[in-house]
Amino acid sequence: MKVGFIGLGNMGGPMARNLATAGHEVSGFDVAAPDVEGVTPALSAAEAARDADVVITMLPNGSILRSVADQVIPAMKPGAVLCDCSTVDVDSARAVAEQAGAAGLGALDAPVSGGVGGAAAGTLTFMVGGTAEAFAKVKPLFDIMGQKAVHCGDSGAGQAAKICNNMILGVTMIATCEAFALADKLGLDRQKMFDVVSTSSGYSWSMNAYCPAPGVGPVSPADNGYRPGFAAELMLKDLRLSQQAADSADADTPMGELATRLYTEFVEREDGKGRDFSAMLPRLAARGRPAGTA
């Protein structure tokens, strides 16, 4: 296929490279103009999109997605598919899909899970919203960039799945870090704590696959000074999106709301920015119980 790729940063660059390596003709554009092996650089987003069968975007937020959509949709050929792999608000995803549909294009919202490592290795998971026809057209590209693509439903369903998943992740990571901090103060060895919880009812991805305690469990960012695999500020972005969606849908998400407040404090008023989201453990381990807590 001929693919236009807009957004060639830490995630988009490796994804575009994998498509080019697999033999697809990839034209790419990024405002920072990075050089990606196998990708033909374009002078604008519209140029990258022209004559493409599929245009893939990987962008920071919904407002930028809407702006890029305004540029690329008029340049795309009828029947092509605009596939956004960014993590953005559901309303922006649906608005762009409606705009693309009115122009005779297919549209997918397809946020990813797997991080920079998954992008480089081609092992991402795609959560996809849009029509079955558009999904079928892009599925061969998903199979190159990732290990799994789930068609979650109509436009916006992919973003909904990503937001709900990452709200769970943020909440469970905080709970995991709290448990380690409590175990420390109760004199329980962290390795013993892991050995029990990882095979008991406290089992979770945050504990078993991404343990926030250095030297415990599989290798994780905690073993590398909490250099980010998934940065705390990105977790905060996703949690804020979850609360924006909860407001829009009139959904009660008290744990998601609390996790958002905690990561806001960590990132914006403490030392969390630029650290992995699991660095919530040393933060909690250094703190005592707030005065007046029952």
Residue with tokens 């990024």: 30
Give the residue from 235, 230, 248, 213 showing the smallest Cα distance to 163.
Answer: 235
Residue with tokens 């998943």: 165
Relative to beta strand 54-57, strand 40-41 is unpaired
259, two tokens = 């996790």
Kindly name the residue from 139, 162, 185, 192 that is annotated as catalytic: 162
Q: Determine whether 137 is an active site residue.
A: no
* DSSP-derived 3-state class of residue 150: strand
- With residues binned 3-state (H G I as helix, E B as strand, rest as coil), the percentages for the chain, rounded to 5, are 50, 15, 35
Residues 6 or more apart whose Cβ sits within 8 Å of residue 81: 53, 54, 55, 105, 106, 107, 108, 134, 137, 138
CA distances from 200 to 13, 186, 196, 197, 204 (A): 39, 19, 6, 5, 10
Q: Where are the alpha helices (DSSP H) in 31-156?
A: 45-49, 62-72, 90-102, 115-121, 132-145
Give the residue from 109, 5, 92, 95 showing the smallest Cα distance to 54.
Answer: 5
278, two tokens = 């699991």
95, two tokens = 């608005």
Active site positions, annotated? 162
